[in-house]
Chain A
Amino acid sequence: MEFLHDLTIKKFHEGLKKKKFSALEITKEFFDYINDKDKEIEAYLSLNKDFAFKQAEAADLAIAKEEDISELTGVPLAIKDNILIKGLPSTAASKMLENYTASYDATIITKLENEKAVFLGKTNMDEFAMGSSTENSAFKKTKNPYDLERVPGGSSGGSAAAVASSMAIAALGSDTGGSIRQPASFCGVVGLKPTYGAVSRFGLIAMASSLDQIGPIAKTVEDAAILFKSIAGKDKLDSTSVDAKYGDELLNPKLENIKKLKVGLPKEYFIEGLDDYAKKEIEKAIDKIKSLGIEIKEISLPHTKYALSVYYIIMTAEVSANLARFDGIRYSRLKNLEPRNLLDIYLKQKGEGFGPEPRRRAILGTYVLSSGYYDAYYSKAQKVRRLIRNDFDDAFKEVDIILTPVSPTPAFKIGEKTADPLKMYLSDIFTIPLNLAGLPGISIPVRKYEKNKELPVGFQLIGKPFQEADILGLGQFYDRIT
């Protein structure tokens, strides 16, 4: 298993080209390993064996025929269960969609299929991506590969844990308030939330449409860049997607350009509540970045403390609209349901299909949008959202990248925060502002960590809109000295 453990997209591609192994051999090895390891980690909700073997055979055939292949050809990936793959279950870890099979592919899935990537299976998550620990899954509790008594983070906890425990070379997750970056930090892997609009959301089961983005989770920054480059781009089926031109600088950054970047440390992010161990780790990252010869200066993002309130108003409002469609008439119906009439089916389907967190959020969202409270909550939140974005715009006049912690603590114990929703929400205070402002952010492990001994900590690099090249570039050089 040492072999799978060391395998990155880059190394896999080189091995495949030199015919050291076939895609099918590696895919089989992954399933053998998952069969054993996932009993302990519980990262996958469903496996995709038959189809994955066919995909791997197609990749091998392309190589045998000497067709042009990409760096993702044959690469075994794990896909978060809220991303649709035609013919496979897509439950979003909800009882609501327990019997739902996707009727079409998400645009990013089509893109990866065109590159002949291999999909090992669908990964566990918080129900409808609502949570920070993957404990809100209706089906299983995923464990953190670094300490089995702790959570993997969330909501993309299954994807992060799968990559961290070598049950996939890389994975896709989705990020609405930190759901890629926080689990990446907890599991010692790399996670990128792209700029809003950089990646098509078509075929992603929506949580909060003005905040959601799909992005990669990988072992190295370089792998994250490879995956990001292939899924990015304008899509006719998502009118918020943007035709941003990403070139070679994503994959081949130049040190002389990276050295010119200025990095800002916002004082509002290094506050009380930031755990001592996490703080010391982040300081190590800052020192290493300094050692690259990069200028670092303190900056201010004055509206940071309002971000959590703004997020929970806007997100729940959008959730209440997006969850309305799960009515038992479309998509999926609970098996034991014997409706007498239409209202009855709505009440029973939503009452039994949604777990506590989606119910809480749908009701809170209905509240902030209701006529008497709209101005005090939703409208006000949209204005403060603008102020948060303005803070970043001002800061980016002085610096090119902003460095912050990802989460106030390393991975916490399973069950530690489930009773208190507000405490759980605070786990995302450093990641939420980026979603509100639509900015790209990456979580990178500070260093290598030893399993069952240390807890990983990630630091976050925030970039200007559509300047993923800056944070991926600095990240790739950081990886090289780690």
Chain B
Amino acid sequence: MALITEKELKHLAELARIKLSEHEEKKLLKDVEEILEYFNQLKEVDVSNIEPMTGGTIQKNVFRNDDDPIRKEINATDEDLIEAFPEKEKRFLKVPPVFE
């Protein structure tokens, strides 16, 4: 049985907001199927009583104060960041309409 169907792939692409061409869909379906098959080897590993390793860090719950002026550590002015907007009106980031 296939691990992933064409319908599932289409749905995933939609969730990831990636538009696929029909040709790419076919190739991707084959690639993903093969990779998922390879992942099947993990089924044989016994992980009972094993705590998941949820990240790479040894740090736990790193907090900072809300008034910590961390923004000052970054060498960009507000204008630098506004300048980088792909589309703007005055000092606002312009976003296309959500509803037509």
Residues of A within 8 A of B34 (CB): 422
Interface of A is mostly: helix
Chain A residue at minimum C-beta to C-beta distance from B37: A422
- Contacts A362-B18, A367-B12, A422-B34; is A385 near B42 (CB within 8 Å)? no
Give the complex CA separation of A422 and B33 in angstroms: 11
Cβ contact within 8 Å between A387 and B45? yes
- Report how far A380 CA is from B36 CA in the complex, Å: 14
Chain A contacts of B87 at CB under 8 A?
333
Q: How far is the CB of B45 from chain A (nearest CB, A)?
A: 5
What's the interface size class on B, roughly? 35 or more
Q: Establish whether residues A384 and B42, one from each chain, have CB atoms under 8 Å apart when the complex forms.
A: yes
Within 8 A of A (CB), among B1-56: 4, 8-9, 12-13, 15-20, 24, 28, 31-32, 34-36, 38-39, 41-42, 45, 47, 50-56
- CB pair A359–B28 under 8 Å, yes or no, is yes
Inter-chain contacts of B35 with A (CB < 8 A) = 312, 364, 421-422
Q: Is the CB of B75 within 8 A of A110?
A: yes
Tell me the nearest residue of chain A to B57, going by C-beta.
A240
Contact A345 B42 (CB under 8 A): no
A174 to B4, CA, bound (A): 33
Given A341-B99, A363-B13, A332-B86 contact (CB < 8 Å): yes
| Assembly CA distance A345 to B19 (angstroms) | 11
CB of A345 within 8 A of CB of B96, answer yes
Pairwise interchain contact B18-A351, C-beta atoms closer than 8 A: yes
Given A332-B86, A465-B58; A348-B81 close (CB under 8 Å): no
CB-CB < 8 A to A354: which residues of B? 18
A367 with B32, Cβ < 8 A, contacts A210-B56, A309-B42, A350-B17 known: yes
Given A237-B73, A341-B96, A383-B50, the answer on whether A196 and B57 have CB atoms closer than 8 Å is yes
Chain B residue numbers with a CB within 8 Å of A308 are: 38
Could you tell me if B70 and A360 are in contact, using CB atoms closer than 8 angstroms? no
Q: Is there contact, CB below 8 Å, between B95 and A363? A: no
Closest A residue to B76 by CB, please name it.
A104
Does A339 interact with chain B (Cβ within 8 Å)? yes
Q: Report how far A397 CA is from B59 CA in the complex, Å.
A: 23
Q: Is B39 a contact of A309 with CB atoms below 8 Å?
A: yes
Contact (Cβ within 8 A) B12 A366: yes
Give chain A interface residues in 341-365, CB to chain B under 8 Å: 341-348, 350-351, 354, 356, 359-360, 362-364
Contact of A331 among B53, B83, B84 (CB under 8 A): B84
Distance to closest chain B CB from A370 (angstroms): 7
Contact of A377 among B13, B32, B39 (CB under 8 A): B39
- A contact residues, total (Cβ < 8 Å): 73
Please tell me if the beta carbons of B75 and A104 are within 8 angstroms of each other in the complex: yes
Minimum distance in angstroms from A277 CB to a CB of chain B: 27
Residues in B neighbouring A364, C-beta threshold 8 A:
32, 35
Taking a contact as CB atoms under 8 Å apart, the answer to whether A320 and B16 are in contact is yes
Q: In the complex, which residues 60-97 of chain B have their Cβ closer than 8 Å to any Cβ of chain A?
A: 62, 64, 68, 70, 73-76, 80-81, 83-87, 93, 95-97
Chain B residues with CB below 8 A from A239, complex form: 59, 62, 64
Check if A363 sits within 8 Å of B41, measured CB to CB: no
- Which B residues lie within 8 Å of A385 (CB)? 52-53
CA distance A370 to B13 in the complex (A): 12
Which of A305, A345, A370, A389 is close to B41, meaning CB atoms less than 8 Å apart?
A305
Given known contacts A236-B73, A348-B19, A362-B18, A342 and B95 CB-to-CB distance under 8 angstroms = yes
Question: What is the distance, in angstroms, from A350's C-beta to the closest C-beta of chain B?
Answer: 5
- Residues in B neighbouring A99, C-beta threshold 8 A: 86
Question: Is B12's CB under 8 angstroms from A370's CB?
Answer: yes
Chain B residues contacting A86 (CB-CB under 8 Å) are 75-76, 80
Measured CB to CB, the residues of B under 8 A from A are: 4, 8-9, 12-13, 15-20, 24, 28, 31-32, 34-36, 38-39, 41-42, 45, 47, 50-59, 62, 64, 68, 70, 73-76, 80-81, 83-87, 93, 95-100
**Cross-chain pairs A/B with CB under 8 angstroms, 10 sampled:** A86-B76, A110-B75, A309-B39, A330-B93, A340-B96, A341-B99, A350-B16, A359-B28, A360-B28, A367-B4
Known interface pairs A324-B16, A341-B98, A360-B31; 4 further A-B residue pairs with C-beta atoms within 8 A, sorted by A's residue number: A351-B20, A363-B12, A367-B4, A380-B47
Residues in chain A within 8 A of chain B (CB atoms): 86, 99-101, 103-105, 110, 196-197, 210-211, 236-237, 239-240, 242, 303, 305-306, 308-310, 312-313, 320, 324, 327-333, 339-348, 350-351, 354, 356, 359-360, 362-364, 366-367, 370, 377, 379-387, 389, 421-422, 435-436, 438, 465
Which 7 pairs show the lowest CB-CB distances between chains A and B? Answer: A351-B19, A382-B52, A104-B76, A333-B86, A383-B47, A196-B56, A239-B62
